[in-house]
Every structure is written in C-alpha cells, then in structure tokens.
Amino acid sequence: MTGEFLIFLYFLLAAIAVFVVVQPERFIVKRSAVINAQPKKVFSLINDLKNWKDWSPWAESDATAQISYSKNTVGRDAQIQWSDSKKAGTGSMTLIEGIPYKEIRFNLDLLHPFKSNNEVIFSLSPAENSGGAKTVVVWSITGRDTFVSKFFNLLISRDKMIGKQFEEGLANLNLSAQKKRGFLWPYF
C-alpha cells in the first residue's frame, strides 16, 4: 500500500507541476472606477507620490514601514521606496511616463518577500455624459510570472487579492479628489 501511495503522490505532484508550468507567463490585474473630479485633478493626485498617502490602500497598512521619497516627488523619475512593511515588503516605485490628464506609468520593483518587476498604469478619460466633471480611472498592474508565483496564484488569487486593494484605493482616490478646504465635498 505504501508503494502505491508513493506512486500516486509522485504522479499527483507531477500533474500539479505541469499544470503550474502551462499557466500564462504574464499576468494582469485591472480595476476601474468613476471619480467625481476632472481628469486634471485626478492626474495631480496620482502624479505626485506624496499625495498617495491620502488614498493608497497601502498607505495606512503598516505603521512600521520605512518610507522615503526622491527629491522630486512629481512627474518623471519621481520615486518612493519602502522597507520593513509587513504587507508590502520591501521595494520601490518609479514614475516612468506621464501623459497629462490621460495616463501615468510606473515601474514597480519588489525585492522582498518576492523579487519581481511590474508595470503599473493609470489610464484616465473623461466619463461619458459628465461634461468633463468626472473621470474614468483604470488602474492596472502587469508583470511576468515565475513558477513560484504561478503556484501561489493557484492557491490565492492574485486578481482577487490585488483587485480588492485596487478597488479600495480607487474609492479612496474618489474621496481625496473631492476634498475642498479641509472638508469632504459634497459630503459635509
């Protein structure tokens, strides 16, 4: 019985390994929301990395994280670095391209707990029938998958995990975009 069990276990592990290997080499997670502000306002909230503390789902996730910014926090080559974060590990994000009021691209380098290089894109467009007063924001991340990340994605859905964080961040971005003179407008 033990020999048969070991043979079964071997074939089961081999089947799992084959299943993991045939998963796509690249991944993408994408979420969108309508933000109650003009594209210019939304662009400024994303384009300046110091604004992220007001809306990023990771901003308040770990008070022990050490965060530093490049000298310039706005536009091309602006960078944020973090370490010792229990939720986000260690890494950096660099703004690589911004097309005013339309798109912002970042290079996201994670060093710990897993090493990866990903591209983060925010696409902005005026919402239909809003007269330019609202903005559709599409937040996406794409990157290459390793064998280990493919395996973990089978256990814990990256799309659900990161997607939930993107949805939270977009809701926070909507609130941040509506701040007016220290109050949330039109909520107060």
Q: What is the mean pLDDT of residues 136-159?
A: 84
User: Among 17-26, 55-64, 147-156, 167-176, which range has the highest average pLDDT?
Assistant: 167-176
Percent of the chain with pLDDT over 70: 89
pTM (predicted TM-score) = 0.82
Q: Give the tokens for residue 110.
A: 């994670």
* Average pLDDT score over the chain: 85
- Domains detected in the chain: 26-180 (3.30.530.20)
Cα angle: 59, vertex 60, 64; to 5 degrees: 100
Please give the backbone phi and psi of residue 140, each rounded to the nearest 5 degrees, phi first: -135, 155
Nearby residues of 31 by Cβ (< 8 Å), 6 or more positions away: 138, 139, 140, 163, 166, 167, 170
User: Among 24-38, 81-95, 137-151, which range has the highest average pLDDT?
Assistant: 24-38
Closest CA to 82 of 97, 70, 99: 70
pLDDT per residue as tens digits for the range 9-68? 777 777 777 776 777 788 899 999 999 999 999 999 999 999 998 898 877 666 777 889
pLDDT per residue as tens digits for the range 111-131? 877 788 999 999 999 998 888
